Amino acid sequence: EKVMTQSPVTLSVSPGERATLSCRASQSVNNRYLAWYQQKPGQAPRLLIYGASTRATGIPDRFSGSGSGTEFTLTISSLQSEDFAVYYCQQYDNWPLTFGGGTKVEIK
Amino acid sequence: EVHLLESGGGLVQPGGSLRLSCAVSGLSLRDSAMSWVRQRPGKGLEWVSTLTSSGGAIYYADSVRGRFTISRDNSRNTLYVQMNNLKVEDTAIYYCAKDGGYADTLSKWFDTWGQGTLVAVSS
């Protein structure tokens, strides 16, 4: 099983600033089979990124993903008020599908 | 537009059973793999099970294998998960989620989610 570790657990950022979230895999994630989701309180997760760097339909271009192997990054270039949420990475290289523990992006 | 609506959650005693449903609109279940993903209170996401679009392959997390059964009714366009021998640690919000692939393509990422249904296992 590939264990996904996200850091930091909590990220305090001011609106308009850049946020960088990290996701590390215990083993290499082949073919960059890595997705990112956003979840707001009381809501279901929303797909942001798949294939490590492809934005899902309707996702603003301030969200970008990068990385390969065991190290992946989600960057939010200029945080908007609606971006404060919890973010999860997920590997889909093999079974079982596994998620990271999440990074909460909060207002500084 | 695809919509997923879960139902069937509730309070059940340890060792009990529950069947969750996910009514799908805007898409035929024959055209997409579907999964269940759960979230324990205050915790992260945990994949539970996946059923491919053809119905020919099913996958389970080790934590539920042998106790949970995923299935679907094409005539009702509804996904199910039968949960038996429930444990306290199965307490969670259960989401159904649509695979990002189409037809025979299994992408294993999730582009549409329902709002979830809460399962509470307690004596």
- Residue B105 in this model has a pLDDT that exceeds 90: no
Tell me what pLDDT residue A83 has: 97
Contact present, B59 and B69 (Cβ < 8 Å): no
Question: Do the chains contact at B44 and A102, CB–CB below 8 Å?
Answer: yes
Q: What is the pLDDT of residue A94?
A: 94
Of A18-22, B52-56, B114-118, which gets the smallest average pLDDT?
B52-56
Query: Across the interface, do A44 and B113 touch by the CB < 8 Å criterion?
Result: yes
Of A18, A17, A20, A23, the C-alpha closest to A35 is A23
Answer whether residue B9 shows pLDDT above 90. yes
* Predicted pLDDT at A24: 98
Average of per-residue pLDDT across B96-105: 90
Q: What is the mean pLDDT of residues B76-82?
A: 98
By the CB < 8 Å criterion, does A70 face chain B?
A: no
Q: For residue range B17-64, what is the model confidence (pLDDT) as tens digits?
A: 999 999 999 999 999 999 999 999 999 999 999 999 988 899 999 999
Contact B77, B28 (CB under 8 A): yes
Mean pLDDT across the stretch B68-87? 97
pLDDT at B23: 98
Measured between beta carbons, the chain B residues lying within 8 angstroms of A97 are 35, 47, 50, 108
- Write the DSSP string, A33-83: -EEEEEE-TTS--EEEEETTTEEPTT--TTEEEEEEEEEEEEEESS--GGG
pLDDT at B103: 78
B60: tokens are 């389970």
**Distance between CA atoms of residues B97 and B95, nearest Å:** 6
CB pairs under 8 A between A and B: 56
pLDDT at B55: 87
Give CA angle at B94 (B33, B77), nearest 5°.
40
Instruction: Kindly state whether B107 is in contact with chain A, defined as any CB-CB distance less than 8 angstroms.
Output: yes
pLDDT tens-digit profile of A72-83? 999 999 999 999
Q: What is the pLDDT of residue B104?
A: 79
Rounded CA separation B20/B49 (Å): 13
- Kindly report the nearest CA distance between residue B32 and chain A, in angstroms: 16
The pLDDT tens digits for A23-46 are: 999 999 999 999 999 999 999 999
Identify the weakest region by mean pLDDT among A90-104, B79-93, B101-115. Answer: B101-115
pLDDT class of B102 with cuts at 50, 70, 90: confident
Compare all CA atoms of chain B with the CA of A41 and give the residue at the minimum distance: B42
The distance of B98 to chain A (nearest Cα, Å) reads 11
Q: What is the pLDDT of residue A92?
A: 98
